[in-house]
Amino acid sequence: MLRTGLALFLIAALSACGGVGPTTRATAPGTAWPSLMPSRPVTRPELPDAFPVLPGASELALPTDDPGLIAQWRTDRVGAVAYDFYSAALPAAGFHVEGRYPGDTVAIIRFIGPTGGLWQVVIQGLDARMAQIEVRLDRP
C-alpha cells in the first residue's frame, strides 16, 4: 500500500511538472499542429502551349513546395544566349515584356502572362557550363 501510494504521488508530481502524463496546448479552435495538417496539392498556372522554350534545354521536375514556379529547364547554352533568346522570343510569341534586367549570374525578364498577371523568366548561371531557366509568377 505504501509503495502504491508513493508511486501515485511520484506520477502526480512529475505530471504537474510536465515530465510524465498527458499535456495540452492551447490552440485556436479548428487548428491543428503543422505535422497533423494534411498536405494540399500545389496548384500552379500552366505554361501556355505557345510559350517559347530555348532549343536544347532539358525540362526539370518541379518541386512540390514552390507554387510560384511554373516551369524550369537546364541548358548548356550559357552567357547571354538564353537572355537574348527570351528577349526576342517572348514578344514574338505575343507576350508583352514589362522589363528586362540583364545580369552576370542572374537575369530576369518580366512579362505579362496569359491571364494578365506579371510573370518572370529567371535565367541563372549555375557554373561556367550550365544555366537554369525558370518561368515563375512575378515576385519582388
126 φ, ψ (degrees, to nearest 5): -90, -40
pLDDT at 7: 45
pLDDT at 4: 47
Q: Which CATH architecture has domain 58-137?
A: 2-Layer Sandwich (3.30)
pLDDT at 129: 95
pLDDT at 132: 98
Please give, one letter per residue, the 3-state secondary structure of 92-123.
HCCCCEEEEECCCCEEEEEEECCCCCEEEEEE
Among 51, 69, 52, smallest CA distance to 60 is for 69
Q: Which residues of the chain fall below pLDDT 50?
A: 1-15, 17-29, 31-33
pLDDT at 71: 98
Helix (H, G, I), strand (E, B) or coil at 127: strand
What are the residues whose beta carbons fall under 8 Å from the beta carbon of 121, sequence distance 6 or more?
86, 90, 108, 109, 111, 133, 134, 135
Among 67, 12, 80, 61, smallest CA distance to 40 is for 67
